[in-house]
Structure formats: C-alpha cells, structure tokens
Chains A and B, each alone.
Chain A
Amino acid sequence: MQNKFRGVMQSPVTPLKDDFSLDLPTFERLLDFHVRAGAPAISWPHHKGESLNLTIEERKLFAEAAVKVVSGRVPVTIHVSALAVEDTMALARHAQKIGADGILAITPYFWTPTLEAIEAYFMRLCTSIDLPVLSYNSPSYLAGVEITGELMACLIEKLPNFVGVKEASFNSEKFLEISRAALALRPNFAMLTGVEFLLPSVPLGGVGSYSAAGSICPNLCNALFDTCIAGEWARARELQFKMTRLWHLFKDQYPSSLKGGMVIMGRPVGPTRAPLPTATAERQAYIRTQLEELGVLDSEPHGW
C-alpha cells in the first residue's frame, strides 16, 4: 500500500496582521492556494509557520481552520512539536479530535535527550492517539540530537502508526542509515526530506519532501518531484539546482525572507513575529532580483 504522504507537501506560512495577530482570512486563502496549485498534502505549522512563536491556543485555532478549508481534498497533518512535551501531547489529541490525517513531531527541544528518552517520547506520543505519526529528524538545529537508524527500526517494530520521517540532515550517510533500517521493516515508510532535496534522496527510496519555497514556486516543486520519479535525471538536476538556489536565498532569515518573497508574488502574508525579523523593503528588492534571474516570475502563479 502506498503511503499517502508523498510528493512535495506544502507547509503554509502563518499570515499575520500588521499588529502581529493571526490573519485568519489570509490563512484560509493561502491554504486554498496551495491546494489549487497542486499540493499533494498540507502540513501546518512547521518552523516555517513560526510554530514556536504561536500560543497553543493559536495553534489549535488555525489547525481547525486548516482541516476545515482543505476539507478532505488532500491529507492534512498537524505539526505538534512544542517546547513542553505536555503541550505536544495536547496538540496531538486535538489534531485527532478535529479530524486531521496525521501529526508530525520532532525530537524534544532543548534538553538534548538520550536515545532512550527519545524512544520513550515517541512511544508515549504514538500510543496516545490513533492517527499516523511522522517523525522529524533535524540534528543540525537540535545540538546533534537525532533518531538513529537503530532507534527508527525499534520504533517501527513497536508502533503500527509510526509511518514516516521528515529527514532534515540533508546528508547521504544519515539518509541511508535511516532508509536502510526503516524500509527493510516497513516498505511503505515515508522517507521525506525536510526541504526539497529530491534528487539525492528519491533514488534511495525517498518519496517526497516538505517544501520551503512552495508558496513562491509550486510548479517547480511538482515538476522536480515528477522528473525524479520518472528518472529524467538531466532535467531533474536542472530543476534541483534552481530549487537549491531558492533554498539558499530563503534560508537566510527564514521564514521572513519567504514572507518577503510572497509580497513579490502577489500573495502578501504580513510580518514575522519576533525574535525573527520582518523582511525590509531592501531585502524584498533583492529577493525580486533573484526571482527574476531564476525566471520564477514568469513560470509561477502570481496572486491568489
């Protein structure tokens, strides 16, 4: 059975009003835009969606909006990672209650937990709900804390709803360590990269990624996935190189640069909450030159 988490899945940013409060109508519009632009799935709120700068109540409110607006057209997963594990558990239960299709959870923040602690965490999280759970591995942001291949295998053996990983090491060895361990035990385990590094991962069993730049260039996201699946490597290389330049551009001051870029694409979503900066007019002008140079303005949808 093919895993339903597949392709370049979109994780919307969080639109804010000028006073930094949530902008619900724009969020609804953005969700709809992603679905119409071909997103195979929606997931919110990733770090790109400023998850850690939202209150738990705000997260619940928008999670409900996401499920409602997407309305079964594509799967919706909720990112439940929070500083306090108790909040994560509450967000997971809430996601199940509102009818989400799955949840995504990173290894716990800050405490640099041991492998035993990470195992206990995922055991508790996965047995507290019936929804599919995608794990999230991001050692470079979490002081080297990671899910090893061995731990991944152990979790797969114990947990029927442990169905995939968002792998954000972007490194051949880490990806292979996990894919070898996981796919041998659960062939439809979703090996997903954190952002659109499809060319180096799809040949090794990768089935997609989450998206950094999808609110700017949804067509490029889908074309890159399709060419990789088709094994059209020369074309895939061309698209991957373009995508990587965009990642390089937006990674700087992520996700405020992304929000800056969305202004240029005719889809303004407001400022970014502190401590993250908001893209200045100068930054936006620079982003415009880059998008022009890459041909994004001509090949991607403008406006909503």
Chain B
Amino acid sequence: MSFNPGLVHTPLTPFLSDGRIDFELYAKSIEFHLRHGADSLAVPMHAGESVSLSDGERRSLIAFAVERADKRAPVIAHVSDAGTGIAAALAKHAQAAGASAIVATTPYYWTPPPGMILEHFFQIGAAVDIPFFVLNAPEDMAGSKINAALALKLIAKLPNFTGVVDSSLDWQFMIEVLTEASRLRPEFALLAGTELMVSAGAIGASGLFSALAAIAPKLVRELFDLCRAQKFYEARALQEEVAALRHIVKPGGVAALKAAVRAMGRDCGNPRPPLLPLEAGAAKMLAAAIEALPALAAESRSW
C-alpha cells in the first residue's frame, strides 16, 4: 500500500468565544488551505488541539473536513489517544467517514515500553484498511518514541503501515527507519513532521506535515517544492526563513500559532483550556516579530 500525501497542511481548530468549535470558520480555513498550496489535510493534529477535543468532536471534525474537502485533497485523520481501543474506534470511524489515511503517535501519558507501543499501533492500524502513518514526536510525548526495530515489526504485522511522520528531527532515526523499512516495503514513506525539510528531504523524506502553513503557506510551499526537486542548496535560504518563523512561534505552542494567524488577518479565536492565549504583551511582540520577517511580505493577510 502506498500513499504519498505531499505537502500536508495541519489546520488549526477555531473556537467561538463560548469555546464551541466554530465550524463556519473551520470551513473557511479549509478553503484557505486548499487554495494556498495544501496537497492534503491532516485533522486535527496537535496544532489543531486534538487533545482538547471530545471524542464526538473529533469525529465531527474529521467528517466535516472530508465533506468540505470534497475530494479536492485527501484528508488524513489524526486518531492518537491514550487508550488503544479508543484510538482504534476513532480510526474505524475516520475510515467510514471517508478519510484517506490515518496517523497516530504513541499513547498519551503512559510512556509504555516498546512491546506495548507495538501492540497499541498494531491494534489501531488493524482497525482500518486505509494507509496508516505513525507519528514519531518524542518532544511532544514526554520522550516516548519509536525506533527502526519497531517499524520493522509493524511492517511485518500490518500491510497498511505506510510510513513514518518524523518530528524527532533525529538524523540517525530518519536514516535508519527509511533504509531498514524500505528494504522490506519499498514504497515505505518518510514524511517530515516539521518544516525543517532540507535535512529530511536530503535523507529522502517525500512529504511534509506543516502547521506553519497556516501562517505562511507560500513560503512553506516554495520550500517544499525546492526540496522535492532535490534543490537542497537552493532551498537553504528559504529553510533559514522558515526556521526563523519557527523560532518565533515554537516557544508559545498552539497559543502562539493562534496569535500568529490573528496577526496574519485570519483570526481563529483562542486556544481551549488548559492552554491559555498569549498575554497581550507577548502577542504584540510576536506580531511585531512576524511583521519583521521579510519572507512573509508576500503572504496573504486574510482568508
């Protein structure tokens, strides 16, 4: 089974002032992403506050995104959860709703040993027939991560285990998982989980999950296209611009992403508790820092 999602945008989830999901604005956001360079959408990733949504909301959101994307782009459903059964049920629902693939990371909170992580992924992947990507995100997951040996075991058990989305940024891991896995499954894909695409692309990553595309879709698209064309030297300047943007936004997490899109004229409301919005002073500083990035001059300032 092969599936190359290309440049995957990971939209933010907009909330109304009473905290409910703002589906009207979400529809607008999906249109924006599709018109601004997304090959695929992945919803709701951590940038989309998946962890702060109820199970029912996640199901609605995935179904809504599939319906609005209306076959113009594949929708990848993010189904990570603490409980294996809960994640597997969500995966099943996503397939029924028309998702093109699913993605999941290690279980929340439990920081389980490798054997338990393997079983967790196996049950999620086995719940569906569509492609299944594993997200390796040790920084988000309190150090819980996967290695090449685990990927090989999963390949042996799951025909639909299609690739790894890497947010570890660890060169050794990326190289090992790609070389080892593609020996058993030649179409196995390495996808970059952040916009640090030059190193990942040189190693052989064929796709990219981007949260920053909500802020600077043009910049991310140009970087991605150069990397896909193997023009890594030519991509360096854009990569440094993207790294500068990432450096500004990363410390504040989702709250900073939301402040940044507000500064770009695409307000998505505040994050849900327990996340707090940036304080006014910090939001102002962030907006000024973004304004000072020359690479963002050509980006759209509205929906």
Binding site for B on A (CB under 8 A): 170-177, 180, 197, 199-201, 203-205, 231, 233, 236-237, 240-241, 244-245, 247-248
Query: Across the interface, which residues of A come within 8 angstroms of B172, CB to CB?
Result: 170, 197, 244, 247-248
Query: Across the interface, which residues of B come within 8 angstroms of A233, CB to CB?
Result: 202, 230, 232
Query: Across the interface, which residues of A come within 8 angstroms of B247, CB to CB?
Result: 177
Contact between B169 and A245, CB atoms less than 8 A apart = no
Q: How far is the CA of A180 from the CA of B196 in the complex (A)?
A: 13
Q: Beyond A177-B243, A237-B202, A244-B179, is A172–B232 a contact (Cβ under 8 Å)?
A: no
B170 at interface, CB cutoff 8 A: yes
The 8 A-B residue pairs with the shortest CB-CB distance in the complex, in nearest-first order = A200-B199, A203-B232, A172-B196, A172-B169, A172-B199, A244-B175, A170-B171, A176-B243
A175: min CB distance to chain B, Å: 7
Closest to B175 in A: A244
Q: How far is the CA of A200 from the CA of B232 in the complex (A)?
A: 10
Q: Beyond A171-B170, A203-B233, is A180–B175 a contact (Cβ under 8 Å)?
A: no
B228: min CB distance to chain A, Å: 12
B119 at interface, CB cutoff 8 A: no
Closest to B139 in A: A173
Closest to A201 in B: B199
Contact between B196 and A173, CB atoms less than 8 A apart = yes
Stretch from B39-47, B126-134, B234-242 that touches the partner: B234-242
Contact between B171 and A172, CB atoms less than 8 A apart = yes
Q: How far is the CA of A171 from the CA of B179 in the complex (A)?
A: 18
Q: Beyond A173-B169, A233-B232, is A204–B239 a contact (Cβ under 8 Å)?
A: yes
Contact between B175 and A241, CB atoms less than 8 A apart = yes
| Chain B interface main SS type | helix
Q: How far is the CA of A175 from the CA of B236 in the complex (A)?
A: 13
Contact between B175 and A240, CB atoms less than 8 A apart = yes
Query: Across the interface, which residues of A come within 8 angstroms of B243, CB to CB?
Result: 173, 176-177, 180
The proximity string for B residues 192-231 relative to A, scoring 1 for CB distances below 8 Å and 0 otherwise, is 0010101110111000000000000000000000000010
Contact between B176 and A244, CB atoms less than 8 A apart = yes
B244 at interface, CB cutoff 8 A: yes
| Chain A interface main SS type | helix
Contact of A203 among B171, B176, B194, B198 (CB under 8 A): B198
Query: Across the interface, which residues of A come within 8 angstroms of B198, CB to CB?
Result: 172, 200, 203-204
Q: How far is the CA of A199 from the CA of B198 in the complex (A)?
A: 10
The proximity string for B residues 178-191 relative to A, scoring 1 for CB distances below 8 Å and 0 otherwise, is 01000000000000
Q: How far is the CA of A177 from the CA of B232 in the complex (A)?
A: 18
Binding site for A on B (CB under 8 A): 168-172, 174-176, 179, 194, 196, 198-200, 202-204, 230, 232-233, 235-236, 239-240, 243-244, 247
Q: How far is the CA of A173 from the CA of B246 in the complex (A)?
A: 10
A82: min CB distance to chain B, Å: 28
Query: Across the interface, which residues of B come within 8 angstroms of A197, CB to CB?
Result: 171-172
Q: How far is the CA of A204 from the CA of B240 in the complex (A)?
A: 9
B288: min CB distance to chain A, Å: 19
Q: Beyond A173-B196, A248-B176, is A203–B235 a contact (Cβ under 8 Å)?
A: yes
Q: How far is the CA of A233 from the CA of B176 in the complex (A)?
A: 17
Query: Across the interface, which residues of B come within 8 angstroms of A236, CB to CB?
Result: 202
Query: Across the interface, which residues of B come within 8 angstroms of A180, CB to CB?
Result: 240, 243-244
Contact between B240 and A176, CB atoms less than 8 A apart = yes
B173: min CB distance to chain A, Å: 9
Knowing that A170-B172, A173-B169, A200-B199 are A-B contacts, what are 15 other residue pairs whose CB atoms are under 8 Å apart, sorted by A's residue number? A171-B168, A171-B170, A172-B196, A173-B194, A173-B196, A200-B171, A200-B174, A203-B199, A203-B202, A203-B235, A204-B239, A233-B202, A237-B202, A244-B179, A247-B172
Query: Across the interface, which residues of B come within 8 angstroms of A176, CB to CB?
Result: 196, 239-240, 243
- A172, A175, A199, A231 pick with most chain B CB within 10 angstroms: A172
Query: Across the interface, which residues of A come within 8 angstroms of B175, CB to CB?
Result: 240-241, 244
Contact between A175 and B199, CB atoms less than 8 A apart = yes
Closest to B204 in A: A237
Closest to A193 in B: B171
A52: min CB distance to chain B, Å: 23
A245: min CB distance to chain B, Å: 7
Contact between B202 and A200, CB atoms less than 8 A apart = yes
Query: Across the interface, which residues of A come within 8 angstroms of B240, CB to CB?
Result: 176, 180
Query: Across the interface, which residues of A come within 8 angstroms of B236, CB to CB?
Result: 203-205
Q: How far is the CA of A289 from the CA of B193 in the complex (A)?
A: 35
Closest to A206 in B: B199
Q: How far is the CA of A245 from the CA of B196 in the complex (A)?
A: 23
User: Can you offer 6 A-B residue contacts whose CB atoms are under 8 A?
Assistant: A172-B196, A197-B172, A200-B202, A203-B236, A237-B202, A248-B176
Contact between B169 and A171, CB atoms less than 8 A apart = yes
Q: How far is the CA of A110 from the CA of B239 in the complex (A)?
A: 35
Query: Across the interface, which residues of B come within 8 angstroms of A205, CB to CB?
Result: 236
Contact of A204 among B174, B179, B199 (CB under 8 A): B199
- A173, A241, A244 pick with most chain B CB within 10 angstroms: A173
Q: How far is the CA of A71 from the CA of B122 in the complex (A)?
A: 59
Q: How far is the CA of A231 from the CA of B233 in the complex (A)?
A: 8
